[in-house]
Amino acid sequence: MSAAAPSDSSGGSDGFVGFIDAGDDPGHVRVRRHGRVGRLTLDRPEAINALSLRMMVALDTVLRRWETDPQIDVVVLDGTGPRGFCAGGDIRVIYEDAQNRRGVSERLWRTEYLLDALIADYRKPVVTVLDGITMGGGIGIGCHIRHRIVTERSVLALPEVALGLAPDVGGLLLLARAPGRLGAHLALTAARMGGVDAVRAGFADAVVPSERLGQLVPLLQRMDPADAIATLAVAPSALGDGELEAHRSWIDMCYDADEVPAVVERLAAHPEPAARAAAEAITRMSPLALCVTWCGLGEAGKADALGPTLVQDLRVSYRFLDGPDLVEGIRAAVIDRSRSPVWSPERLSDVTPAMVERHFAPLGAADLDLSPVLGRRAGRP
């Protein structure tokens, strides 16, 4: 989209909304107005709409303006292309920055978490369409609101432990609130959820067949978001039973432990093949990231809102940037695709409490300040 695209004052269905300044450039974000509906479409399909810093700034800029725009009543956030809504953040940028420390990662994380908080506490209804792959940063912008749509193509995950990092973008709060011990299983194995499992785990609200998505915006132009979505939705069972529900018994039992090594022992000893497969999956992850994630889950479980978890996320992410596992994990998964990372420490038994605790220490003046974006709805009816 060109920064010179004209403002749409007529409310036409395909009109672009101009940016604040002529020099602003939304990058890979399409900005449109459909009557009373503002629509933001992640438009980087070659990267499954992975979020760049520029994209996040564009989203933040338009969302802040639309909050006070009397012609916008509801916002839709979706993605271009059939592969996915958003594959996460641009981890190649983090990989490069971790080696030269120019501060790009810190700016990216800080901007991302503030955007997550803005969307979560937005003054107007937001509808997210989590069609296809939705991971990492896609969870952050898409799953902390009330109107979250998945389809038969949806695949949701927080795969950070495989990259030498802990789940961030407030994902630990969602995981901590998942039924039983599902959140611990999803966090430690980086397991993927289909649409049905996403609804049952609390990451989504409604299942809408992908062939009906084209009707969403027209319905939102004349209906309340809840009613519009209900008109299009099908019962989750229409897509099957999901995979996680069938495994709840061993998941709840094996993950009900005090520490990660005990979880792995229980899984490995369980007669259910899926439990033993989960144990094998966990042993391939960064031992330090696993232990930090376990501790982070406990802390997120105490939170009554998103803010404290995002503050924790920035602290943890900063500390991983100083260690070797994040660079090694991205290298093995994305750069040379060897799939054979060498973690440090190599074993869970070598991770000490002090190694874990340092990730949660305050950053002082660098701590995340969410006051500009959280709590702004307190006075609204």
Domains assigned to the chain: 15-366 (3.90.226.10)
The answer, yes or no, to whether residue 72 has pLDDT greater than 60, is yes
**Mean pLDDT value of segment 155-178:** 98
Give me the residue label for tokens 């996403």: 198
pLDDT higher than 90, residue 20:
no
pLDDT band at 343 (very low <50, low <70, confident <90, very high): very high
Bridge partners of 149, per DSSP, are 129, 206
* Residue of 369, 324, 332, 314 whose CA lies nearest to 105: 314
Residue 10 has pLDDT above 80, yes or no: no
* Structure tokens, 166: 């802990």
Q: What is the mean pLDDT of residues 374-380?
A: 50
Q: Can you tell me the distance from the alpha carbon of 190 to that of 192, in angstroms, rounded to the nearest whole number?
A: 7
- pLDDT value, residue 379: 34
CB-based contacts of 258, cutoff 8 Å, min separation 6: none
Q: Which residue has the higher pLDDT, 106 or 10?
A: 106
In a 3-state reduction of DSSP, which class is residue 352?
Answer: coil
pLDDT of residue 82: 84
Helical residues (DSSP H) of 91-242, grouped into ranges:
91-100, 104-120, 137-142, 171-177, 182-189, 195-200, 216-220, 225-232
- Nearest-angstrom CA–CA distance, 97 and 278: 32
Interhelix angle 287-300/306-321, nearest 10 degrees: 160
3-state secondary structure 51-97: ECHHHHHHHHHHHHHHHCCCCCCEEEEEECCCCEEECCECHHHHHHH
Determine which helix (DSSP H) or strand (DSSP E) holds 282, and give its type and residue range: helix 273-283
Quote the CA–CA distance of 131 and 288 in Å, as a whole number.
32
Question: Once rounded to an integer, what is the mean pLDDT over residues 334-345?
Answer: 93
Q: Name the residues annotated as catalytic.
A: 89, 137, 160, 168
